[in-house]
Amino acid sequence: MTDLFSPLKLGAIEISNRVLMAPLTRCRADEHHVPTDLMAEHYGQRASGGLLIAEATMAMEGNSAFWREPGIYSDAQVDSWKKVTDAVHANGGKIVLQIWHGGRACHPALNDGKQPVAPSAIAITNVDVHTPEGKQNYTVPRALDDAEIPAIIDGFVRAAENAKRAGFDGVEVHGANGYLLDQFLRDGANHREGPYGGSLENRARLLLEVIEAVSQVWGADRVGVRLSPLNSFNSMKDSDPIGLMTWLSQKLSDYGLAYLHLMRADFLGEQQMDVVTPTREHYKGHLIVNMGYSGQEAQQVIETGLADAVAFGVPFIANPDLPHRLKIGAELNQADPATFYSQGREGYNDYPTLEALK
């Protein structure tokens, strides 16, 4: 019987189990967005996950949306990410890098005063941004010209090339959670006209062009994509999430991707509907689901064939040995939200394994 602990081949990536680590922004890079030794230790501790999806990483310089998130555009970043991938591989794990552009979620206070860019000049209003000077309101972004879009795609290509140099097993294109590619995709944030606005086909154009370009670097069978059709975080909304996912699932089926990573819910609880079932019906590839799954529910998802793997976020923060704990039904450590975005070892690398508790 196929279960949560059965091996799986995601495109060209062979994984030992279906307990995946979701990408988790933790702000442990240095002030130059260079990964730190803390990060190498952190990911190395969690290498028993079938696949680790490393946190949202800046594809190109000058587009910071968090304080001290990592990048993948400089030689120093590539060299430091190599320590991370080496640590994961030394412990028998697999890891892909989530490549990302923050779009309107970037802030001038994090980017030397530079105005952020987006599909349309519409600001985020339902959340604040963390900066070295404390929380601040988001600013109104500048709408990208169509002529600027090829440079965005080239930035993702360079990020994919650098991820390969750093020793990753593949990349995940971040098309979720209200960042640039998602801003183009959903009609609540994209009010533009022309080839990248209006119809669903036009709104999806940038995401698909990035996927196609990145696949030229890696081969599509080492490229995944993450989507969040319901998530209203970062002032996001689409008028027809089910129609969006039905169309995208059919379209993405033609690409031969390693996987589609679907966030099933809304951080803020504003939109509630089933997007997993229509995605599974229409997507002819490996489906990873994420957000709020218990071990028991994840097991049911795999057994019934609703998805091929389950990605865990917060439980993997506090449980470096999460697959083992789920397999034997052990109690889980509870994560401390106060340390999610702090910059030290506490709440990052100091959660004990079951073995350490003996």
Q: Which residues are designated catalytic?
A: 179
DSSP bridge partners of 8: 15
Distance CA 47, CA 21 (A): 9
Count of H-run helices and E-run strands, the chain: 12, 14
CB–CB of 65/34 below 8 Å?
Answer: no
Distance CA 10, CA 13 (A): 5
* Exposure string over 263-302, b if 16+ CB within 10 A, otherwise e: bbbbbeeebeeebbebbbebbebbbbbbbebebeebbebb
**Cα 228 → chain centroid:** 10
Apex 128 CA angle, 127 and 132, nearest 5: 160
Q: What is the DSSP string of 184-210?
A: HHSTTT----STTSSSHHHHTHHHHHH
CB–CB of 104/183 below 8 Å?
Answer: yes
